[in-house]
Structure 1
Amino acid sequence: MKIQKLNWAGIKIECNKKTLLVDAVEDFTAYSGILGYPRTPLIHFSLTTKADYIVFTHLHLDHFDISIIEKCLKPDGKIIAYKKLEKYIPALTRHVIYLDYDEIFTEEGISIKSVFSLDGIGHDQTAWIIECNGFKIFHGGDTIWHNKFWQLGKENQNIDFAFLPINGAIVNFQALGLAYSTIPASMTLEQAFNAAKLLQARELIPIHYNKFSTPYYQPEELNEEDFEKLSKKISQPYRLVEDGYFISGE
């Protein structure tokens, strides 16, 4: 399995001559009024990527980019989505496979499993466990901390990489009708290290950080010392991967 980190929470997986995109977004302008503009350059991958499967955790536009489906999904490709999102995306005319929690889609030696996740502002969301050739990854979208990580680790053993959000963003979405809260709408760095530990993941791969910051979207400020300190405290290895870089699952 070969994995490329894309923008924000996105990854590209290549295995068994198949390509999967998870939460792959190239255009964030729809949320520019809230998130602002990217603080670091974006990776433009759509012109060189043809995907057999496109997978997304939820419908927030920083995780679901419909233009990527149009640009990247092969004519016979499949969209894999959480069952509870079916009523919201009837306009997708491509082949969509909907999975409820703990359901698994298997094809060409690749398995994709939907598991419990919890969105920071109450919208429907799933996390994904993807396995190919004995290598297994967990992708948590922008989940907040919840009490299922113990169970997920026991029921889905031998996770190699846990891709988890770490920016602990405080959101001020009063203009959207949501009351202001000081509780983070995605996991903090410490929560992500703990979640990876409970998932029994070989390594935490941080996602969903260092890209956006506005008065409406206020992320936790991080430095490299924080990573080292928490890794030692929690005994959880991690790896920082820059956008565009590849890591191999062996």
Structure 2
Amino acid sequence: MPSLLRLLAALALSLCAFAAQAGEVQVAVAANFTAPMQDIAALFAKETGHKAELTIGSTGKFYAQISHGAPFDVFLSADDKTAGRLVSDGKAVGTSLVPYALGSLVLWSPDAGMVDAEGKVLATGSFAHLAIANPKLAPYGAAAMQTLDKLGLAESLQPKLVMGENIGQTYQFVHTGNAQLGFVALSQVMKDGKITKGSAWRVPAEMHTRIRQDAVVLEHGKDNPAAAALMEFLRSDAAHAVMASYGYGIIK
């Protein structure tokens, strides 16, 4: 019995030490990365004991909020420019900036027969509304407009466009039927390497600027061990496996 008590006491002490080391990191997450980051945060907590509190939004709005002192520790951008701008502005730690994923744009509809494998439905105009994210705020919206320009359809489809503030709202427009189809992030309609429902055209990468997504530790989080731990975890095999399952290209 004494040995059992000693074992239980040692276990209690180790658990206390683990809890004492655990921290919390406030993370600003670009909307396209919502689902994978939720999965990664759960793995991160299990692996390290640290808790990642996620706030979801558009890259452009996060830039404005962080510039005005929003207390985030880590920023996961949807592009390869905004995090660097924050470094230049003195709002982020330059040595921490790393690319973490390559995003993919997809034309999607919840209707299984709506979108063909080559996106030719766009030229038919046989739909009332086409949803895209605001190209001034969201890199996926900018990629959508570049795609329409490349197809020579930007002007003719302008009256049909409905714009979401971010890619999350854009997905909701299509998901709820307020738009028959829309340009969304592949990660929003893919799980375990498969389109979960509806029909989709995966837009070829050459149709738009490459969607490289960067992560950075912000000034608010520069002394937070949990922030450093999260940045390291984003480059782990476990995190990469999650990203790949949602259709992201991996950057090592």
TM-score (norm 1): 0.27
TM-score (norm 2): 0.27
Higher relative contact order (CA 8 A, sep 6+): 2
Determine which structure has more spread, i.e. the larger CA radius of gyration.
2
Return the structure number with greater strand share.
Answer: 1
Return the structure number with greater helix share.
Answer: 2
